[in-house]
């Protein structure tokens, strides 16, 4: 009886999660599916977002995500490898780094936005730009990315470490060819969580990438992300609800595509024997 009750509770939780997802997506589709078309994706925004498409918004969003991942993934993965594999002889440093990461993970996004505006925008002179927004988001997702990847690396079977040492493999080859492939699920989870948080972020981007809805010509141009566009249409533009729901559907699709790409790339890099020497 106890096992049946436990199984029923677990299944109920899983079904509840699926129901919430279906309810969310169906609500967006009912309210925002009509404007979506190929023209919607490639047209310029007009009439404060009430008409036209989201080509500049989508381009800005993808560029911001690209900057974020290019900066955050190498730094986050390198830090995680150091904490998991090299920090035994530097316990004090490792303790303070982990504490710093845990504190940063709990900092509100609006604080990251103010930091990005003050440091990247004013001090470094990047102003309201896609580069400033991407760098700010990279700082914001680093704590989750590092801690998730570190936990996965620390859970690698100790016998694999002993086997690699017995075979005379260097630390670098052991990490690239054995430990990272084994920790692939955690690496993927960290990247996916980072993508989800970065894609849905609004507060930090208002202060860094800006509101401009024209097509960006470079990373130093201001650009409006999809999340900021949805906020603007919902809160500040009369009659923008339909376009806001349509943009939310596209944002959800972008998140799904990037998650699938993260799974595919990590499987390609780590899932078949790791990096090639």
Look up the CATH number of the domain holding residue 150: 1.10.3720.10
Q: What is the pLDDT of residue 119?
A: 93
Per-residue pLDDT 10s for the chain (277 aa) are 888 899 999 999 999 999 998 998 888 888 888 888 888 888 888 887 788 888 899 999 999 989 998 999 899 989 998 988 887 767 888 888 888 988 888 888 889 999 999 999 999 998 899 999 999 999 999 998 898 888 888 888 778 877 877 877 777 888 888 888 888 878 888 888 888 888 878 888 888 988 888 888 889 998 888 888 888 888 888 888 888 888 888 888 888 887 787 777 666 665 554 444 3
> Residue 8 falls within a domain, yes or no?
no
Task: Calculate ∠ Cα 206-67-118, nearest 5°.
Answer: 40
> Residue 250 falls within a domain, yes or no?
yes
> Residue 166 falls within a domain, yes or no?
yes
Q: What is the pLDDT of residue 273?
A: 46
Scanning the structure block, which residue is given the tokens 């899983």?
Answer: 14
Scanning the structure block, which residue is given the tokens 């603007």?
Answer: 232
The number of domains in the chain is: 1
> Residue 5 falls within a domain, yes or no?
no
> Residue 6 falls within a domain, yes or no?
no
> Residue 1 falls within a domain, yes or no?
no
Residue 42 and residue 56 in contact, taking contact as beta carbons nearer than 8 Å = no
Q: What is the pTM of this model?
A: 0.83
> Residue 84 falls within a domain, yes or no?
yes
- Residues 36, 253: Cα–Cα separation, whole Å: 12
Residue 224 and residue 130 in contact, taking contact as beta carbons nearer than 8 Å = no
> Residue 124 falls within a domain, yes or no?
yes
- Residues 110, 159: Cα–Cα separation, whole Å: 44
Token pair in block for residue 211: 């509101």
Domain that holds residue 79: 14-270
């Amino acid at each position: 009886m106890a096992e049946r009750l436990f199984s029923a509770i677990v299944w109920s939780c899983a079904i509840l999660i699926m129901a919430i997802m279906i309810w969310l997506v169906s609500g967006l589709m009912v309210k925002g599916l009509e404007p979506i078309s190929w023209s919607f994706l490639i047209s310029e925004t007009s009439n404060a977002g009430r008409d036209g498409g989201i080509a500049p918004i989508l381009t800005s969003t993808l560029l911001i995500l690209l900057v974020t991942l290019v900066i955050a993934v190498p730094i986050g993965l390198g830090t995680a490898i150091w904490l998991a594999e090299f920090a035994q002889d530097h316990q004090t440093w490792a303790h303070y780094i982990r504490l710093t990461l845990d504190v940063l993970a709990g900092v509100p996004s609006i604080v990251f936005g103010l930091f990005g505006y003050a440091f990247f925008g004013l001090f470094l002179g990047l102003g309201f730009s896609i580069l400033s927004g991407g760098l700010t988001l990279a700082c914001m997702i680093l704590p989750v990315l590092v801690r998730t990847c570190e936990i996965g690396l620390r859970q690698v079977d100790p016998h694999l470490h002993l086997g690699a040492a017995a075979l005379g493999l260097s630390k670098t080859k052991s990490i690239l060819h054995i430990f990272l492939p084994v920790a692939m699920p955690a690496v993927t989870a960290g990247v996916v969580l980072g993508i989800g948080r970065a894609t849905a972020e609004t507060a930090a981007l208002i202060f860094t990438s800006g509101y401009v809805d024209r097509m960006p010509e470079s990373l130093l141009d201001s650009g409006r992300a999809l999340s900021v566009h949805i906020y603007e249409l919902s809160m500040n533009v009369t009659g923008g609800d339909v376009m806001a729901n349509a943009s939310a559907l596209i944002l959800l699709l972008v998140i799904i595509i990037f998650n699938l790409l993260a799974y595919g790339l990590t499987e390609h890099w780590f899932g078949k024997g790791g990096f090639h020497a």
